[in-house]
Amino acid sequence: MALRPSRSPGDSRWAPWVGLVARLAVGTTFLVAGVLKIADPDAAARAVQAYRLMPAGLGELLGYGLPFLEVGVALLLLVGFATRAAATVLGLLLVAFIGGIASAWARGLSIDCGCFGGGGAVGQDQTQYVQELLRDGALLVGAAWLVVWPRTRLSLDAVLGMPAAYGPDLDDEPEEPDADEPAVPATDGEGGRG
């Protein structure tokens, strides 16, 4: 029995299209969230402070600065420039957001996450922790896809011919073994036949 190398999802012809969808979904979400928070920076600062995870001054600084980071990195992701780096930054933000929301829930705080502006204390029956965690988890999956397989259709990375670290060109067919060459036999891992 011959062993053939397995193909990862990133090697398939549809992977760049999945990446495009992930890029647009994650990028658009962060762009909208950041713009809404920039429109009301005081509410964004209050939302960060509502989590009670850091000193007030640091929470306020983060509340004012984070929306600009979200918008800037979202724009990179939307145009497909430095896709892996942008997805890594947004993925790390999502891990922090998931941790903050889970922490607030576990500590019994009743807050709105402030992800899309607003935020702060709400009534116990108005919390939406499950929905927020599911949304951020789905976005994290999209960001992780882009970290592992950053080559996407309609990206500035492709137009500019970004480094080979991004993988093979989108138009390259995966190499198939030559029919005239013998298949590689299975081994037991120690050089012997299995």
Burial of 105 (0-12, 13-18, 19+ CB in 10 A): middle
The full set of domain ranges for the chain reads 14-159
> Could you tell me what percent of the chain has a pLDDT over 90?
68
Q: Indicate the pTM of the whole model.
A: 0.79
Cα torsion through 138, 97, 69, 15, rounded to 10 = -20
| Residue with the two structure tokens 């951020």 | 136
CA 48 to chain centre: 21
Question: Which of 89-93, 113-117, 171-175 shows the lowest mean pLDDT across its residues?
Answer: 171-175
* Contact (Cβ atoms closer than 8 angstroms) between residue 186 and residue 194: yes
Cβ neighbours of residue 157 closer than 8 Å, sequence gap 6 or more = 80, 81, 82, 83, 150, 151, 166
Say yes or no to pLDDT of 178 above 60: no
pLDDT at 13: 85
Structure tokens at 151: 């080559």
pLDDT tens figures, 121-138: 899 889 999 999 999 999
In whole angstroms, give the CA distance from residue 135 to residue 58.
Answer: 26
Would residue 7 be called left, alpha or beta, if left means φ above 0 and alpha means ψ between -120 and 50 degrees?
A: beta
Q: Where are the alpha helices (DSSP H) in 40-162?
A: 41-50, 56-79, 83-106, 129-148, 156-160
